[in-house]
Amino acid sequence: MSDGLRIRGLEVTFMNGQEKVRAVNSVDLCIHSGEKLGLIGETGCGKTILGMAIMRLLNPDTLIRGQITCNGTSITSISEEEMRQMRGREIAMIIQQSLTSLNPVITVGRQIAEAVELHQGLSGREARAEVIRLLSEVGIPDPEIRLDCYPHEFSGGMNERVMIAMALAGNPSFLIADEPTTGLDTTVKNRIISLLKDISHERSMLFITHDLAAAAEICDRIAVMYCGEIVECATTEDIFRAPLHPYTQGLLASMPQRGLRPIRGTGPSLAAVPPGCRFCNRCRESRDCCTTEHPELREKRKGHYVRCFLYD
């Protein structure tokens, strides 16, 4: 069964001493089978936390409410053992920062082989052959030699490919890619993007990034996150051509290609979010109601959702 990923009313709350910090607030998202959804927003807005919540990789004392289903299975209610069966096979994550995520004292081939042995039950020569196949699938030249290299012998782009190969080891139908192009130069970035397009051809993908150009290239739809909430969600074309939320408009305008006009001020801390709209202190269009009432995410046009009183 393959009906994609559904998230309903997701809330993720951390306990920071006695203080509650809600990093993700009432998120509703749906990623259809085969669809590529971009999740964009600034550092600290909760993008990675949302990805980790889907993978159930957050600390056990984190409070999680809401429903996440993947291909019909409820991720939020299955046992840890059942979840372990899903991770890697149904749903895999390409974790941020390849160099620090790889073990520096184990060869890349061995690290990928671990995933291959676990997910496909292969061992010895068969596992090695599968590692070579995966390395060549992600575009590493001379894979039969390269698999004996250590991460420090690889460039940033090559390590990113290794991370992608590990995620593919269990042949998952759903991929979460967390900032896979950050820190790479343009040439390498373009190659990683085209690789991601290739491997996600018959898969669904949640593409977490703050690189708007990369999101435009890869994604069918884009969700914009601000301070723990989705503030806008629409097709990639609508987000770039006709953004509705003032934050999305500001984000686009701050790109060097679009005039480099910054959004004034800084966002609120997640520990002290205002009662009204979370963007209102930086918004040029804010009205009285924005400081007191909290806007809901509403469908403004067909398939175009926005959380803003301007459109009520």
Partner 1 sequence: MIEISGLNKRFSRGRSESSSVQAVRDVSFSIKKGECLGVIGESGSGKTTLGKLLLRLTEPDSGSILFEGIDISALNRREMRKIRQRMQMVFQDPTASLNPCMTIGSALSEALKQRGVQDIESERLRLLEKVGLGSEFLRRYPYELSGGQTQRIVLARALAVRPVFIVADEPTSALDVSVQAQILHLMKDLQKEYGLTYLFISHDLEVIRYMSDRVAVMSEGRIIELRQTEEVFSDPQHPFTQRLISENEISERALRKFSGGTRDIPE
Least distance between partner 1 and beta carbon 45 (Å): 9
- 78 part of the interface to partner 1, by CB under 8 A: no
- What is the three-class DSSP state of 294? coil
Least distance between partner 1 and beta carbon 167 (Å): 23
Q: Phi, psi (5° rounding) for residue 206?
A: -100, 115
- 262 part of the interface to partner 1, by CB under 8 A: yes
Least distance between partner 1 and beta carbon 256 (Å): 4
- 249 part of the interface to partner 1, by CB under 8 A: yes
Among positions 85, 107, 120, 190, the unique one binding partner 1 when judged by CB under 8 A: 190
- Write out 130-167 in H/E/C secondary structure: HHHHHHHHCCCCCHHHHCCCCHHHCCHHHHHHHHHHHH
Among positions 130, 217, 229, 232, the unique one binding partner 1 when judged by CB under 8 A: 217
Among positions 193, 195, 280, 306, the unique one binding partner 1 when judged by CB under 8 A: 193
- 17 part of the interface to partner 1, by CB under 8 A: no
- 236 part of the interface to partner 1, by CB under 8 A: yes
Among positions 28, 42, 114, 117, the unique one binding partner 1 when judged by CB under 8 A: 42
Site size for partner 1, by CB under 8 A? 43
Least distance between partner 1 and beta carbon 43 (Å): 6
In the complex with partner 1, the residue whose CB is nearer, 125 or 241, is 241
Strands (E), 3-133: 5-16, 19-31, 36-40, 63-70, 73-74, 91-94
Least distance between partner 1 and beta carbon 82 (Å): 37
Among positions 102, 165, 214, 290, the unique one binding partner 1 when judged by CB under 8 A: 214
Using alpha carbons only, how large is the chain's radius of gyration in Å?
A: 20
Residue 119: CB atoms within 10 Å: 19
The window from 55-63, 139-147, 171-179, 260-268 that contacts partner 1 (CB under 8 A) reads 260-268
Least distance between partner 1 and beta carbon 306 (Å): 14
Given a contact cutoff of 8 angstroms between Cβ atoms, the answer to whether 44 and 268 are in contact is no
β-bridge mates for residue 29, sequence order: 7
Considering only residues 113 through 172, tell me which ones interact with partner 1, judged by CB under 8 A. 155-156
The window from 40-48, 107-115, 138-146, 292-300 that contacts partner 1 (CB under 8 A) reads 40-48
Q: Name all contacts of 148-153 with Cβ < 8 Å and 24+ positions apart.
A: 148/107, 148/109, 149/107, 149/108, 149/109, 150/104, 150/105, 150/106, 150/107, 150/108, 151/98, 151/99, 151/102, 151/103, 151/104, 151/108, 152/104
In the complex with partner 1, the residue whose CB is nearer, 59 or 257, is 257
84 to 78, 88, 91, 174: CA distances (angstroms): 10, 8, 10, 15
Given a contact cutoff of 8 angstroms between Cβ atoms, the answer to whether 41 and 209 are in contact is no
Burial of 306 (0-12, 13-18, 19+ CB in 10 A): buried
- 192 part of the interface to partner 1, by CB under 8 A: no
Q: Given the rule CB under 8 A, which residues bind partner 1?
A: 42-44, 155-156, 183-190, 193, 210, 212-214, 216-217, 236-237, 240-243, 249-263, 266, 284
